[in-house]
Structure 1
């Protein structure tokens, strides 16, 4: 990960959201262990949803590290898609990074 001084505002907000969602997932997992559902269908649904959110967190982890890679649009768009499909809060750093990367590309063209 980059030094904290080199992180953009979009990345800082993204990491705050990432930790928030991760803590919620862990607390939900602990609550699920304490209050076990009796239905096997509920157990299967919870395992599937937990796996999807774990995959989301892994993708977002790498997305936040590469958010401004080559001032491209790929990772900000990935963040916005994950925000739409998963945790809505990820839309914020996605849009913010898209604006930053777009401005950097315009500045690079003008030089």
Structure 2
């Protein structure tokens, strides 16, 4: 028999995963809207340049989600500050909700010395 131990998630990680899923659903919805529309708000048809911009921003946000995935998964690795700070930086780059697990991770990873 294999002895498998489950890794227990912290409250900061659970919060991070909830935010990650919410942001992922929003990004998927926006990408679907961007690539299925044939005209902008004024009624003008979209051009190739607009589609390139759509692709660029879609790839940018997908990359941020991949980074956020690993940052949440490794939030408490070795009790370090790297991954919480990565989440805080991601919060300033676009997905502002990542500030919550980022700061929470910093607090949990920095115990007060008595």
* TM-score normalised over the length of structure 1: 0.85
Aligned to 1:65: 73
More helix by share: 1
What is the rounded CA distance, in whole Å, between the counterparts of 1:32 and 1:53 in structure 2? 13
Give the structure with higher Rg (CA). 2
Unaligned runs of 5+ in 1: none
Q: 1:3 deviation in Å?
A: 4.2
1:1-111 aligned within 5 A: 3=6, 6-37=8-39, 38-103=46-111, 106=112
Unaligned runs of 5+ in 2: 40-45
What is the rounded CA distance, in whole Å, between the counterparts of 1:100 and 1:36 in structure 2? 48
Runs of 4+ in 1 over 4 A off after TM superposition: none
Would the alpha carbon gap of residues 73 and 62 (structure 1) be closer, same or farther in structure 2, given more than 3 Å must change? same
Q: How many residues align?
A: 104
